[in-house]
Amino acid sequence: MKSRYEAAKQVFIDSVDFEDYIDLNSSVAAYKQLEYSLDKPLKMILLFGRPGTGKSILLNHIQQKLKHQREIYYFDTPAVNEKEFFHKLFKVLTQKDLPNNTEVNFSALVEFCQGLRGKREIVILLDEAQMYDTEMMEKIRLLSDSRAVKFVISLHKTEDEDLIAKEHFKSRIWEVIELKNASREDQATYIHKKLLKKNLFDIANSIKAKEMKMIHHFTKGNYRECNKLLFTIFEICEHYDKNESAKINYTHIHSKIIEMSALKLGYINV
């Protein structure tokens, strides 16, 4: 027999799909700031935050929302090398495929972009840009100087360095949008909305304020960690539902289950 928690577990599989985007106070503010920035005469926009703060899903969301209004492309995964990146960019710029064995002449590509100025404004949403080296980033900057191609550069902010201070950001006056972990209120809204989108009303109502506080404590409001923890919580609930249903309260996710999940994921050290 299928457990009522199986669907709830699937809700929290980490995803950047457009359909999984959740409107929150913080995400709406970031979306509006990015949309406003795209209308400014900027060559580059920096979107940064720690892993799991929602950068990828925000880029995916804005591309889906604006794709019928402007030329906007989402490069979701970093190219394995410079050649692959410029082949992909060449197709965006020219609407033509380049033979695999052909090298892109970078100077000619810059000149082509310069020729587009005033005719087209192309927005490239460049995710996981920390994977590109300084030389590659400098070439991206040169392409943006044409003012026909605007880049939104999404980067991880790490514990021991502020990415804005990296060499290829110095002296660049860009718009900077920083995504942060969710507040307790936003995270609770995020969890409830994700469940309600799948009509899992009873399960959404079974997570009370005390348990929401615990979830926020363990995940620090990080969306990726929240997804991992909720997936594990419902995985444990599913086990009890199928094997020891007398031990589970269907109207209230017990704090012990949250603690078991946190222990399993290493949030609690024994």
Asked if the model's pLDDT at residue 12 lies above 90, the reply is yes
Structure-block tokens of residue 72: 């906007």
170: containing domain: 25-179
In-domain check, residue 202 = yes
Q: Which amino acid is at 75?
A: F
One domain for residues 163 and 129 = yes
**Under 8 Å between Cβ of 60 and 74:** yes
The residue ranking higher by pLDDT, 64 or 43, is 64
One domain for residues 43 and 72 = yes
Summarize pLDDT for 228-257 with one digit per residue, the tens: 999 999 999 999 999 988 888 899 999 999
One domain for residues 85 and 206 = no
Q: State the average pLDDT over residues 97-118.
A: 86
One domain for residues 168 and 190 = no
Question: How far is it, in rounded angstroms, from Cα 10 to Cα 207?
Answer: 17
CATH number of the domain where residue 144 is located: 3.40.50.300
The residue ranking higher by pLDDT, 37 or 164, is 37
Last residue of one domain, picked from the residues 142, 164, 179: 179
Summarize pLDDT for 191-228 with one digit per residue, the tens: 999 999 999 999 999 999 999 999 999 999 999 999 99
The pLDDT value recorded for residue 61 is 92
pLDDT band at 176 (very low <50, low <70, confident <90, very high): confident
Q: Decide: pTM greater than 0.95.
A: no
Q: Which amino acid is at 210?
A: K
Question: How far is it, in rounded angstroms, from Cα 250 to Cα 91?
Answer: 53
One domain for residues 52 and 90 = yes
The pLDDT value recorded for residue 83 is 86
